[in-house]
Amino acid sequence: MDSLAAMATFVRVVDAGSLSAAARSLPSSLTSVSRQISELEQHFGTRLLLRTTRRLALTEDGRILYERAKSILTEFKEIESTLSRRDHQPTGRLRVSAPTLIGRLLIAPLLDDFLHRFPSLSVDLLLVDRVVDLVEEDIHLSLRVGHLPDSRLVARKIADLQMVLCASPAYLARRGTPQSPADLEHHDCLVFSGTPGAAVWRFKLDQDAEYRIRLYGRIWVNSLDALVTMAKHGAGIVRVPSWQVGADLAGGHLQRILRRHEPAPTPLHLLFQPSRLPSTKTRAFADFLVDHWLKRDPFVAGVDGHEEN
């Protein structure tokens, strides 16, 4: 059995939805397609597909093989493409994911320059404020904020993000300036989340001690842009990345509060698919971002902004 060919056929069957549709698209005979699936099942000693007169479904083992086979086949194509290209210029389609705000403000404006440098590349930019599954969603490169509990991920740290608390001068004049994290319980806090309920904000106390406060904010929004706009109009206190509000702090539209209690910076990583050879196009985009941000670090903006207390 040609294992690679059999896996390619298996993936085609799942994507097509039936053996006959896969046979037509390959093109190949229905008998050949059916035989390769049977050989795969015999090789792994497990049922991969559930066949009925109406539909075709994956077993649990079939789902595992499907996801891994797609990754293996993609990696093989990238190796083949890299070794066969004489000029080693990146080609094809690159799938990138990023948090919405970072993607919109810091990545999207750079894509024209990137594509001008690499005219044989195309980019799919997925902007989502959730953790993506690089393998299942076929993402080549992902920007992720926070510490990485999964050691299997191939990561490259590119920045530290400082979260800051700020409010408008009008709000602080009306409600007073918090002197400690506990004072926030008596203030209007604007919370970033897509699921209203209780939020936990973390703060630094003396030395290594950490203070956590559970907030039941009156306003919950799944957009940092909207929260900052409301904060500037006096709706309450917002917790956002310092780089996002650098101009507003410098211009006096917002004032930074509780600076001495700010938590340690949060890392920002570039993530690559585990167990995958970084392709030429993936390395090109990663190097492009890092080189651009080294010249002008966009993540330090606002760190030295004015503080009210």
* pLDDT tens figures, 98-107: 999 899 989 9
CATH 2.40.50.140 fits 92-158+266-295, yes or no: no
Question: What is the rounded CA–CA span in Å between residue 270 and residue 139?
Answer: 12
Question: What is the rounded CA–CA span in Å between residue 40 and residue 12?
Answer: 14
Q: Where in the chain is the domain with CATH 1.10.10.10?
A: 3-84
Q: Is the pLDDT of residue 84 over 90?
A: no
At position 295, the amino acid (one-letter code) is K
Residue 305: predicted pLDDT: 45
Structure tokens at 15: 């994507």
SS3 for 4?
A: helix
- Higher-confidence residue: 168 or 90? 168
Contact (Cβ atoms closer than 8 angstroms) between residue 62 and residue 48: yes
Q: Where in the chain is the domain with CATH 3.40.190.10?
A: 92-158+266-295, 163-261
Radius of gyration (C-alpha) of the chain in whole angstroms: 25
| E-state strands within the chain | 49-51, 56-58, 92-98, 121-127, 141-145, 154-161, 163-167, 189-192, 199-204, 210-215, 219-221, 237-241, 255-257, 266-272
Question: What is the rounded CA–CA span in Å between residue 131 and residue 156?
Answer: 17
Residue 294: predicted pLDDT: 75
Contact (Cβ atoms closer than 8 angstroms) between residue 115 and residue 146: no
Q: What are phi and psi of 137, to 5 degrees?
A: -95, 5
* pLDDT tens figures, 148-181: 776 566 788 888 888 999 999 999 999 999 999 9
- Residues 201-220 as b or e (16 or more Cβ within 10 Å = b): bebbeeeeeeeebebebebb
Nearest Cα residue to 266 out of 97, 95, 102: 102
Give me the mean pLDDT over the 87-94 stretch.
77
Give 81's pLDDT tier (boundaries 50, 70, 90): low
The CATH classification number of 3-84 equals: 1.10.10.10
Residue 19: predicted pLDDT: 81
Q: What are phi and psi of 245, to 5 degrees?
A: -110, 20
CATH class held by domain 163-261: alpha beta
First-to-final CA distance of the chain: 72
Q: What are phi and psi of 275, to 5 degrees?
A: 60, 25
- The chain-wide mean pLDDT, for the chain, equals 84
Q: Is the pLDDT of residue 87 over 80?
A: no
Question: What is the rounded CA–CA span in Å between residue 148 and residue 284?
Answer: 23
* pLDDT tens figures, 192-242: 886 777 788 989 877 678 888 888 878 888 888 999 999 999 999 999 999
Q: Is the pLDDT of residue 303 over 50?
A: no
Residue 150: predicted pLDDT: 63
Look at the block and give the residue holding tokens 């700020």.
166
- Count of CB atoms within 10 A of residue 50's CB? 11
Question: What is the rounded CA–CA span in Å between residue 72 and residue 34?
Answer: 21
Residue 152: predicted pLDDT: 64
Give me the mean pLDDT over the 122-136 stretch.
88
What angle separates helix 30-44 from helix 60-84, to the nearest 10 degrees? 110
Residue 107: predicted pLDDT: 93
In the chain, the percentage of residues whose pLDDT exceeds 70 is 88
Considering Cα of 249, then 305, then 175, then 181, what sign does the dihedral take? positive
